[in-house]
C-alpha cells in the first residue's frame, strides 16, 4: 500500500460523514417547532463545511505527495541526470529498464521448471512461492497477487495429492 492510499484513508476517516455526525449530535437541541427548511439549511451548511475540509485534506495530501516525489528526485536523481554521463549513464538506464522483464521471464522459467520437471522440497516450494509473490507484486501490483495466490495454492495442493 502506498503513501497516497494510507493518507487518503486517514483523510476519509477524519472528514467522511462529518456533517451527518454533527447533525445527529445537534438535532436533539433543535427547538421542536423549528421548520424543516431551517433544519435542511443547517444540514446543507454542514455538508458544505465537510466538503471544504475534504478539499483541504486532499490538497494537503497532494502537496505531501509532490514533496515526496521531489525529495526522491533530489536524492536519487532522475533519468535526465543519468543521460549526462556518456556511457555509464546509458548502461544504468538500460539496467533500470530491463529489471522488470528479466525478473518476470526468470520467474516464468522457474515456475515452468517447477510444474514440469523439478521435484522440490516443501521449503523450496515455499521459497518459490515467496519469489512469485514478490515478483508479481512488483511487476503487476497487489491485485495480481490477490488474484493469482489462490490458483498457486490450489496447484500446490493438487501436486501434493498426486505425489
- Predicted confidence (pLDDT) per residue in 117-127, tens digit: 988 888 998 89
78 and 131 in a common domain: no
95 falls within a domain: no
3-state secondary structure of 15: helix
9 falls within a domain: no
User: Which domain-ending residue is among 34, 67, 83?
Assistant: 83
76 and 125 in a common domain: no
> Average pLDDT for consecutive 10-residue bins of the chain (163 residues)?
55 60 69 79 82 84 87 76 82 86 89 89 88 82 78 80 75
46 falls within a domain: yes
Cβ atoms 19, 42 nearer than 8 A: no
**Could you identify the residue written with the cell 475534504?**
54
Nearest to residue 3, comparing CAs of 55, 52, 51, 63?
63
User: Which domain-ending residue is among 83, 98, 132?
Assistant: 83
For the chain, state the CA radius of gyration: 27
122 and 73 in a common domain: no
HEC profile of 92-152: HHHHHHHHHHHHHHHHHHHHHHHHHCCCCCHHHHHHHHHHHHHHHHHHHCHHHHHHHHHHH
Q: How many domains does the chain have?
A: 2
pTM score: 0.45
CA distance 117 to 109: 11
Nearest to residue 137, comparing CAs of 98, 107, 97, 96?
107
What pLDDT, on the 0 to 100 scale, is given for residue 15?
57
158 falls within a domain: yes
Cβ atoms 89, 82 nearer than 8 A: yes
Write down the mean pLDDT value for the chain: 79
User: Which domain-ending residue is among 39, 57, 83?
Assistant: 83
What pLDDT, on the 0 to 100 scale, is given for residue 25?
65
What pLDDT, on the 0 to 100 scale, is given for residue 84?
81
149 falls within a domain: yes
110 falls within a domain: no
What are the residues whose beta carbons fall under 8 Å from the beta carbon of 159, sequence distance 6 or more? 115
123 and 75 in a common domain: no
Which range of residues forms the domain containing residue 42? Answer: 21-83
Cα 7 to Cα 14, 61, 63, 138, 143: the distances in Å are 11, 7, 12, 21, 20
125 and 73 in a common domain: no
Amino acid at each position: 500500500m502506498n503513501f497516497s492510499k494510507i493518507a487518503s484513508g486517514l483523510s476519509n476517516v477524519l472528514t467522511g460523514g462529518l456533517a451527518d455526525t454533527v447533525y445527529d449530535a445537534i438535532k436533539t437541541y433543535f427547538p421542536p417547532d423549528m421548520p424543516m427548511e431551517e433544519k435542511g439549511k443547517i444540514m446543507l451548511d454542514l455538508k458544505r463545511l465537510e466538503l471544504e475540509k475534504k478539499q483541504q485534506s486532499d490538497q494537503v495530501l497532494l502537496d505531501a505527495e509532490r514533496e515526496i516525489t521531489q525529495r526522491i528526485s533530489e536524492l536519487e536523481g532522475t533519468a535526465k541526470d543519468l543521460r549526462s554521463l556518456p556511457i555509464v549513464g546509458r548502461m544504468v538506464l538500460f539496467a533500470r529498464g530491463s529489471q522488470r522483464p528479466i525478473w518476470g521471464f526468470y520467474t516464468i522459467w522457474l515456475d515452468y521448471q517447477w510444474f514440469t520437471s523439478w521435484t522440490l522440497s516443501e521449503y523450496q516450494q515455499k521459497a518459490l512461492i515467496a519469489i512469485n509473490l514478490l515478483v508479481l507484486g512488483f511487476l503487476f501490483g497487489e491485485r495480481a497477487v490477490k488474484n493469482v495466490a489462490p490458483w498457486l495454492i490450489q496447484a500446490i495442493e493438487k501436486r501434493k495429492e498426486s505425489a
